[in-house]
Amino acid sequence: MPYDPSAFPPFAVTVDLVVLTVRRHALCALAVRRGEPPYQGRWALPGGFVRGDEDLSTAAARELAEETGLHAHDPAGPLLPNAAHLEQLATYGDPKRDPRMRVVSVAHLALAPDLPAPRAGGDARSARWAPVEDLLDQEVGYAREDELAAPLAFDHARILADGVERARSKIEYSSLATAFCPQEFTVGELRRVYEAVWGVALDPRNFHRKVTGTPGFLVPTGGTTTRQGGRPAQLFRAGGATLLNPPMLRPEA
């Protein structure tokens, strides 16, 4: 079959972002309020069109910077203070997912440390961090008093759920949980990340043994802190290791 430009239909390609962070012991996602139809006034994931000369990862990094001020962490580059982990998640292309036209969305997953406040950028009237349970537990037809009564726009609930599941499984066998922490952190803070993402309680003693005993996971910086109260804790930075072998086991229940 020879090449024929009329043989394929045109698509719009967007990137949508699942930006996760841990705030007040809860896994939270960044949501923006839609300022125009369709789904006007509803919450949605941040995102936007891919430009004509842009790679997908570039577009995702640009949207991330526009919405949060974070820049994407280059795996090969140096550790930067305000950097987030960014990776491709999955692509969603149901013909009816956007009522306006045929849109294929390449969703990306970003993991960021706790930030002061989201900044509303681009086409969003407002932006906020919301616990993922609040964003996902929106039953259709279940009216609530607060502003989160409606479920997420488009298929964003599905995308968010996929991103959360990716994060939950990925911290099992990689050192990615450190992406939720500031540059220097304690073992207890890292443990609270796992507890928030998985929604379970972990034994502090076994957790401490596991993470300090895994070579390359944590590097002590020499300092200590008492910002959590109690006995001062050692400060660590993320080590060079990316894969955890053996993995951190997620409890059954």
Partner DNA sequence: CTGTTTATCGTCAGGCAGACGACTATGATC
Partner DNA sequence: GATCATAGTCGTCTGCCTGACGATAAACAG
36 contacts which partner out of a copy of itself, DNA, none, CB within 5 to 8 A by kind? Answer: a copy of itself
Supply the DSSP symbol for 176: G
Residue closer to DNA (CB basis): 88 or 212: 212
Widest Cα–Cα separation across the chain: 72
Among residues 102, 158, 168, 208, which is the contact residue for DNA, using CB under 7 A?
208
Rg of the chain in Å (alpha carbons) = 20
Q: Is 188 in the site for DNA (CB under 7 A)?
A: yes
- Determine if 232 is a binding residue for DNA (CB under 7 A): yes
Task: List the one residue from 81, 141, 231, 243 that touches DNA (CB under 7 A).
Answer: 231
**Count of other CB atoms within 10 angstroms of residue 69:** 14
Measured from the CB atom, is 105 or 175 closer to DNA?
175
Q: Select from 20, 23, 27, 84 the least CA-distant residue to 57.
A: 84
Nearer Cβ to DNA, position 40 or 212? 212
Report in angstroms how near the CB of residue 117 gets to a copy of itself at its nearest.
Answer: 22
Tell me which residues touch a copy of itself (CB under 8 A).
Answer: 1-3, 5, 7-14, 36-37, 49-56, 88, 90-95, 100-102, 104, 106, 122-123
Closest to DNA by CB, 72 vs 176, is 176
- Asked if 212 is part of the footprint of DNA (rule: CB under 7 A), the reply reads yes
CB of 139 to a copy of itself, least distance (A): 23
Q: For tokens 């259709």, name the residue.
A: 140
Which of a copy of itself, DNA, none lies near 93, with the C-beta cut-off 5 to 8 A by kind? a copy of itself
Closest CA relative to residue 12, chosen from 47, 64, 37 = 47
Cα end-to-end distance, the chain, whole Å: 55
In 3D, which of 108, 126, 23 has the Cα closest to residue 63? 108
User: How far, CA to CA in Å, does 159 sit from each of 62, 165, 198, 200?
Assistant: 19, 10, 18, 23
251 touching DNA, by CB under 7 A:
yes
Helix (H, G, I), strand (E, B) or coil at 164: helix
- Write out the two tokens for 86: 């960014």
Look at residue 232 and give the partner it binds from a copy of itself, DNA, none, a contact being a CB closer than 5 to 8 Å depending on partner kind: DNA
Contacting positions for DNA (CB under 7 A) = 186-189, 191, 203-206, 208-210, 212-213, 226, 228-234, 246, 248-249, 251
